[in-house]
Structure formats: C-alpha cells, structure tokens
C-alpha cells in the first residue's frame, strides 16, 4: 500500500525529515521545497541502496505527484519506507503560504 500525504499536512510537519525531489536537476535548480535533496527518479530506481536506508522514512515528490507515486510503489515493495507527497511541487507552490 502506498502511503501518501497531502501538501497541507506535509507543511505542518516540524521535525527533521528526509525530503527527496525526484525531478530532473534543471527543475530542482529552478526551485524546490526547502531542505529537499535532488535525486532524479531514474537514479533512485537504478540504485536505491546508494541513496536510501530501509530503516528511515523519506518524503518523495515530483511535479504533480504521479511519478513520485510510482516510485514509492516500486521501492516500498522492496522494503523502503517512502511517503508520496500528493500534488507534488505544484501543490507546494499553491499551498506554501497557508
């Protein structure tokens, strides 16, 4: 089962969390959610153990939440704990002032 969180609930999280932007480097460099790191989805899917630890939780986003949903589905099935941020970066832009 895919874990998802909507952007408004995500923005309320105050603890130190792992946030991964899986868009390409150009889009990440244009702008991104603060404190996120960039790991393009192709790299993450090819070598998840290079970037992720199975005992940690990661919040994953893309532009709209569709690709990140798929990535979460694939990697959760092999033991990683990923939470999809529904709506992705577009939702962040719409909700960051709330």
- Per-residue model confidence as pLDDT tens digits over 5-53: 999 999 999 889 999 999 999 999 999 999 999 999 999 999 999 999 9
Per-residue confidence at 98, pLDDT binned at 50, 70, 90?
A: low
Q: Please state, rounded to an integer, the average pLDDT across all residues of the chain.
A: 95
Q: Locate all alpha helices (DSSP H) within the chain, ordered by sequence.
A: 7-11, 25-30, 41-46, 48-51, 66-77, 88-95
Domains in the chain (CATH in brackets) are 3-95 (3.40.250.10)
């Amino acid at each position: 089962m895919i874990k998802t969180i909507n952007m408004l609930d995500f923005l309320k999280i105050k603890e130190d969390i792992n946030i991964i932007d899986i868009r390409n480097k150009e889009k990440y460099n244009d702008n991104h959610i603060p404190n996120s790191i960039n790991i393009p989805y192709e790299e993450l899917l090819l070598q998840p153990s290079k970037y992720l630890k199975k005992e940690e939780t990661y919040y994953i986003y893309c532009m709209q939440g569709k690709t990140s949903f798929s990535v979460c589905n694939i990697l959760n099935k092999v033991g990683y704990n990923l939470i999809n941020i529904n709506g992705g970066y577009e939702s962040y832009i719409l909700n960051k002032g709330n």
